[in-house]
Amino acid sequence: MFDQQVIFLYARDLEESTAFYGEVLGLPLVLDQGSVRIFRTSRSSFLGVGQCNEKRPSMPGGIIVTLVTNDVDEWYERLRSKGVAFEAPPSQNDTFNIYHCFLRDPDGYQIEIQRFGDPAWPKPD
């Protein structure tokens, strides 16, 4: 098993995306490498946001960043109060036994806030 995980997304406007992930979502910035900013999403998981370029374009299609929490409704209300638009309010998905909602970051990447209902889902350390 690996020790940590980082998912990298590439932004057209790095400052706008930095504000979204840092100020709107409230993720702590743990490393600023100039053209790449890395935010902590949990004790051992991170989200890197880099300035897009010819080698690393902004390509939101087909990517979903899922943030897992037991407080989906609380996150929904918190982010709505900051002006974040959601695709729909939180809902139950019986097929996968999850409760979730979706929003998009400034580049159009889909963000899912989700709670697993399956007791087999691993609990955080």
What span, in angstroms and rounded, lies between the C-alpha atoms of 63 and 95? Answer: 20
CATH superfamily of 5-116: 2,3-Dihydroxybiphenyl 1,2-Dioxygenase, domain 1 (3.10.180.10)
Reading the chain (125 residues) residue by residue, the pLDDT tens digits are: 778 899 999 999 999 999 999 999 999 999 999 999 999 999 999 999 999 888 888 888 889 999 999 999 999 999 999 999 999 999 999 999 999 999 999 999 999 999 999 988 888 87
Give the domain ranges of the chain: 5-116
Cα–Cα distance measured from residue 107 to residue 109, given in angstroms and rounded to the nearest whole number: 6
- DSSP-derived secondary structure for 71-85: -HHHHHHHHHHTT--
How many residues does the structure list for the chain? 125
Predicted TM-score (pTM) of the model is 0.89
Q: Are 63 and 109 in contact (CB under 8 A)?
A: yes
For the chain, what is the radius of gyration of the CA atoms?
15
